[in-house]
Amino acid sequence: MSASHRIVGALLAALLVAACTPTPAGSPSPDGGGSKGFAVTKSNEEWRKTLGPEQYRVLREKGTERAFTGKYWNNHEKGTYACAGCGQELFSSDTKYESGTGWPSFFRPIAPEAIGTEDDSSLFMTRTEVHCARCGGHLGHVFPDGPPPTGLRYCLNSAALDFKKP
Ligand SMILES: [Zn+2]
């Protein structure tokens, strides 16, 4: 009886320890933890405090907002789209076009060095992921079916962007 009590006690202690540990040992951080040398790096907890839930899901967990639900897919105002994570300017309204997809779409970033890309083979597709070069925040994907002059379609999430009028 005392032996079984000890086992139950040990199990309870293990559960309590596990519950109090923010990141279980051995489970990789979902976003790579900002270890790729970006100029702006924060812990997931810090990002959670500064971003809204949808912004966090898109920027830090590479989520995708539902089509036609974001605040910018149908925005036709002149201005600049900056990263919602760190404020770096990413895209200009001059390169925004109507793609019909329900996501804000651009044919060119404001500067080549403003963004970074990475192969993404999730969801049984090979796509090219686009992120902010300054903080690594996930923005969306780029596809080779855009209009001239680049032929590219930067398909972005409104939640990752912060629109500023000139
Ligand atoms: Zn950023």
| Ligand 1: centre distance to CA 15 (Å) | 37
CATH label of the domain that carries residue 131 = 2.170.150.20
Q: Residue-wise pLDDT tens for the chain (166 aa)?
A: 455 566 555 555 554 444 443 434 333 444 444 456 899 999 999 999 999 999 999 999 999 999 999 999 999 999 999 999 999 999 999 999 999 999 999 999 999 999 999 999 988 889 999 999 999 999 999 999 999 999 999 999 999 999 999 9
| Ligand 1: centre distance to CA 9 (Å) | 47
| Ligand 1: centre distance to CA 6 (Å) | 51
Token representation of residue 46: 């810090």
- In a domain? residue 150: yes
pLDDT at 125: 87
70 in Cβ contact with 59 (< 8 Å) = no
- In a domain? residue 136: yes
Query: For residue 160, which of 140, 141, 133 has the smallest C-alpha distance?
Result: 140
- In a domain? residue 84: yes
- In a domain? residue 8: no
| Ligand 1: centre distance to CA 84 (Å) | 7
Is residue 86 among the annotated active site residues? Answer: no
pLDDT at 37: 85
* Distance of alpha carbon 138 from alpha carbon 130, whole angstroms: 6
Q: How many distinct structural domains can be found in the chain? A: 1
Query: For residue 159, which of 134, 133, 127, 137 has the smallest C-alpha distance?
Result: 137
pLDDT at 42: 96
Q: Classify the C-alpha dihedral 73-91-141-54 as positive or negative.
A: negative
- In a domain? residue 76: yes
- In a domain? residue 70: yes
- In a domain? residue 10: no
pLDDT at 83: 98
| Ligand 1: centre distance to CA 85 (Å) | 5
Q: Single out the catalytic residue among 86, 132, 135, 155.
A: 155
pTM, two decimal places: 0.77
| Ligand 1: centre distance to CA 69 (Å) | 22
pLDDT at 7: 55
- In a domain? residue 5: no
Q: Domain of residue 108: give its range.
A: 40-164
